Amino acid sequence: TCFCSFLIICGIKKFVFADPVKITVKSGQDANLTCRAAGNGKVSVVRLTRDNLKPNCVLLYRNDQIDEEQQNTQYLGRTKLHNFISTDGKVNLTLNSVTEEDNGVYECRVRTEIKSNTRRKRAALESTFINLRVGAAQSDPPGE
Ligand SMILES: *[C@@H]1O[C@H](CO)[C@@H](O)[C@H](O)[C@H]1NC(C)=O
Ligand SMILES: *[C@@H]1O[C@H](CO)[C@@H](O)[C@H](O)[C@H]1NC(C)=O
């Protein structure tokens, strides 16, 4: 399944504990998530999961495509990856028209293929936790 098919990525989860990045978005808006990625290189796997979701797969990108079969139907057609090369150590993605059902802590795991001078290929993994809070829809401008 989405969560633990990659031994190596599951292994890293044990010792990566960072404070989640908090994002607050109004219901109906798009949420932009930024995942850390290692170095300069081609992004080979992006795996976005959510803590209180079953199945927990929000987005799985591998073999140059988004694997919709693994994706929780709640997120089908609502996700967009913006870049497949990490140039600034980031991979950006968008969740379209969020609702309160999308609340939760997301974990974004990115695998990057690092170019090196030797012929040996290297892959690097980064994990980012993102706490998405969806507020009520914007009907009136907030009291300012
Ligand atoms: C997300 O990014 C898109 C363009 O990249 C922008 O139009 C949109 O306003 C952003 N959404 C939020 C909630 O910042
Ligand atoms: C990803 O988004 C961040 C924050 O909006 C921005 O600073 C960065 O340039 C973006 N990177 C790419 C590769 O789109």
In-domain check, residue 94: yes
| Best CA proximity match to 110, nearest among 58, 67, 62 | 62
Q: What is the pLDDT of residues 12-26, one digit of tens each?
A: 444 445 678 999 999
In-domain check, residue 116: yes
What is the bridge-based pairing of β-strands 31-36 and 41-50?
Answer: unpaired
Q: Is 95 in the pocket of ligand 1 (CB under 6 A)?
A: no
Q: What is the pLDDT of residues 52-96, one digit of tens each?
A: 899 999 999 999 999 999 999 999 999 999 999 988 899 999 999
Helices (DSSP H) in 17-60: which residue ranges? none
Structure tokens given for 22: 């908090």
In-domain check, residue 87: yes
In-domain check, residue 5: no
Q: What is the pTM of this model?
A: 0.81
Q: Is 42 in the pocket of ligand 2 (CB under 6 A)?
A: no
**Alpha carbon distances (Å) from 28 to 79, 94, 95, 96, 143:** 14, 13, 10, 8, 20
Q: What is the 3-state secondary structure (H, E, C) of 81-141?
A: ECCCEECCCEEEEEECCCCHHHCEEEEEEEEEEECCCCCCCEEEEEEEEEEEEEECCCCCC
Q: Is 82 in the pocket of ligand 2 (CB under 6 A)?
A: yes
Q: Domain span at residue 113?
A: 27-131
The mean pLDDT value for 36-54 works out to 92
**Which CATH number covers residue 95?**
2.60.40.10
